[in-house]
């Protein structure tokens, strides 16, 4: 990169390899037929928007479809979310949302939670770029709202 990459090397803290991988190849991005939960979330500040669909059965999320448009962080975050929640019980999903919120705010996340989050920990890099935390949180907040609505 003509000696230029050194200027951008700090970006690696936010755009870790795993983040760029999810951004380039998002998981579970196919729309679902006949979803039980169907929700649009958007961030008017940057114009990012995602369509979150879930199929549920017996208190668990059985299938996830997330697609939309947004920056690398919001897209990777949505993809990581889709990968994590499939097959999880409502309670586990809610717990994961809570862990991610704390991770992104720089609050304590236990080792047990870290094990559950796995690759998602890479999202924690956005803490160095505070204006981008919203990008990382967008789909998680949407999922949380969608599940709460569904359970009510």
Q: Which residues bind other proteins (CB under 8 A)?
A: 1, 4-5, 7-8, 10-11, 14-15, 20, 44-49, 69-73, 129, 132, 135
- To other proteins, the closest distance from the beta carbon of 140 in angstroms equals 18
For 78, how many CA atoms within 13 A lie in the half-sphere containing its CB?
A: 33
Shortest distance in whole angstroms from residue 70 CB to other proteins: 6
Phi, psi of 41 (to 5 degrees): -125, 145
Closest CA to 66 of 107, 24, 108, 31: 31
Nearer Cβ to other proteins (44/107): 44
Judge whether 78 and 26 are in contact, CB under 8 Å. yes
Cβ closest to other proteins, residue 78 vs residue 147: 78
User: Is 4 or 112 the residue whose CB approaches other proteins more closely?
Assistant: 4
Q: How far is the CB of 2 from other proteins (least distance, A)?
A: 8
The residue ranges of DSSP E strands in 7-150, in sequence order, are 37-43, 48-57, 60-69
Q: Establish how many alpha carbons lie within 13 A of residue 53's alpha carbon, considering only the half-sphere containing its beta carbon.
A: 15
Question: CB of residue 58 vs other proteins: minimum separation in angstroms?
Answer: 37
- Closest CB to other proteins among 45 and 57? 45
């Amino acid at each position: 990169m003509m000696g230029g990459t050194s200027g951008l090397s700090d970006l690696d803290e936010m755009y870790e390899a795993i983040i760029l991988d999810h951004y380039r190849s998002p998981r579970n991005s196919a729309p679902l037929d006949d979803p039980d939960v169907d929700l649009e979330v958007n961030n008017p500040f940057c114009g990012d928007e995602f369509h979150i669909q879930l199929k549920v059965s017996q208190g668990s999320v059985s299938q996830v479809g997330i697609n939309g448009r947004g920056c690398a962080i919001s897209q990777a975050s949505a993809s990581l979310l889709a990968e994590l929640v499939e097959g999880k019980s409502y309670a586990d999903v809610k717990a994961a949302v809570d862990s991610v919120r704390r991770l992104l705010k720089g609050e304590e996340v236990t080792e047990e939670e870290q094990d559950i989050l796995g690759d998602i920990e890479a999202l924690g890099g956005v803490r160095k770029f505070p204006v981008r935390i919203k990008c990382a949180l967008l789909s998680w907040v949407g999922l949380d709202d969608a599940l709460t609505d569904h359970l009510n």
